[in-house]
Amino acid sequence: MRRQPCAAGLQRASHALSDENACEIKVTVLVTIISIKYDWLLTNHQPLLCIAQNRERLMPEASTLSSSVVALARGAVVHPARNPGAPFDASWFDDLRVNQSAVERRTATLGTRRTVKKDAQAAWLLKAITCIDLTTLSGDDTEGRVRRLCAKARQPVRADILAELGIAPHGITTGAVCVYHRFVATAVDALRGSGIPVAAVSTGFPAGLNPHELKLKEIEASVADGAEEIDIVVTREYVLTGNWRALYDEVRDFRAACGAAHLKAILATGDIRTLSNVARASMVCMMAGADFIKTSTGKEGVNATLDVSLVMVRMIREYHARTGVLIGFKPAGGVSDAKTALLYQILMKEELGRAWLEPELFRIGASSLLADIERQLEHHASGRYSAFNRHPVA
């Protein structure tokens, strides 16, 4: 994988210094690095943390957060072009090897080198809400549960908390609602007029062992019912046996069946054993036309981890360098608290850039995350933590 240059001031400089000049040069280098690092932090956090001065126009009574928080939460409009894919070329991934120790060292720094506090933390958490695929994928799902989930997606944070934060009612929604095919039509009806897309899991989710033709029919049926996003699962056997051409052809067929609906390819990283397999499978799925790559179904023994996610976003960066196409990323399973969500946001910002904080390029598959984010926002607004049972149950 290619190594991305660090921002100025964040990469340690090593110099061969003569004895007589070493002390003076070291001091100069240290002062320069501190100065550059400070300037870099201001520049890179400016779109997220700057304080605007017209909060009163949004909600005169509430002045806890600046209007820049609202701007961050709503975000810049990002309309990445659909991924057309690329011809199968094994040279793009055959020689990929992942240094697991280096991956672990990199992910260990995510929560230590910088922190997001106070107003900034509230802003990032509001942004995280807009990137949640609010999900129910249980065997006991009912139409009533799906409708309650959709109501929560429309208003994910209690109105009184939004008022305390200075956010207009209904100014924040989740990124999507994700359900089984059976409930796609129900969710589409419940979300009508909200602009929130419905995502359907498909292709024999979660195992992905249905016959290929049945998988294609399932995708087509979900699209016909109104699903705008299709979360497919790949055949793990192709990854485990190194049958990359078969994986490419499978995902290519899924992409064609989706039509205008966006395709999210679930790698089930907990099942495919090695980080090198994760890297190769990511590249093959993007070559085949996946608009997003997704870590897990949420049903594996091991779901989303920062290590796996780092490898996948580096592959997104590699694919973008080769093709110019922007690919989205979705961690799913195990992202259940606000602190973890912030780590994933930091990962996206540092590895891919500001555009990947928007729901068009970043989603978090979650069912319980929203409750903890809402608690953190209430604490920011009131100074007190509430119990989980205080918040609406989807």
The tens digit of pLDDT for each residue in 43-78 reads 343 333 222 222 222 233 334 565 555 555 555 556
Query: At CA 343, angle to CA 69 and CA 68, rounded to 5?
Result: 10
Looking at the DSSP bridge assignments, the partners of residue 328 are: 292
Three-class HEC string of 14-70 = CCCCCCCCHHHHHHHHHHHHHHHHHHHHHHHHHHHHCCCCCHHHCCCCCCCCCHHHH
- The verdict on whether 330 is a catalytic residue reads yes
- C-alpha 290/C-alpha 263 separation (Å) is 5
Catalytic residue among 127, 215, 330, 349: 330
Residues of the chain with CATH 3.20.20.70: 90-390
Q: What is the average per-residue pLDDT within 173-187?
A: 98
pLDDT for 275 beyond 60 = yes
Catalytic residue among 294, 307, 349, 372: 294
pLDDT for 224 beyond 70 = yes
Would you state the pLDDT for residue 72?
Answer: 57
Query: In which band, very low, low, confident or very high, does the pLDDT at 265 lie, cut at 50, 70 and 90?
Result: very high
Of 14-23, 93-102, 112-121, 234-243, the least confident = 14-23
The phi, psi pair for 273, rounded to 5°, reads 80, -50
Instruction: Judge whether 129 and 156 are in contact, CB under 8 Å.
Output: yes
pTM of the predicted protein model: 0.82
Catalytic residue among 133, 152, 215, 231: 231
Would you state the pLDDT for residue 389?
Answer: 74
pLDDT in tens, 66-112: 555 555 555 555 678 999 999 999 999 999 999 999 999 999 999 88
Would you state the pLDDT for residue 13?
Answer: 32
Q: What class is the 90-390 domain?
A: alpha beta
Looking at the DSSP bridge assignments, the partners of residue 233 are: 266
Q: Does residue 176 sit in helix, strand or coil?
A: strand
Instruction: Judge whether 336 and 368 are in contact, CB under 8 Å.
Output: yes
- The verdict on whether 349 is a catalytic residue reads no
Q: Does residue 394 sit in helix, strand or coil?
A: coil
Residues 6 or more apart in contact with residue 162 via CB below 8 angstroms: 168, 169, 171, 172
Among 259, 201, 186, 260, CA closest to 231: 201
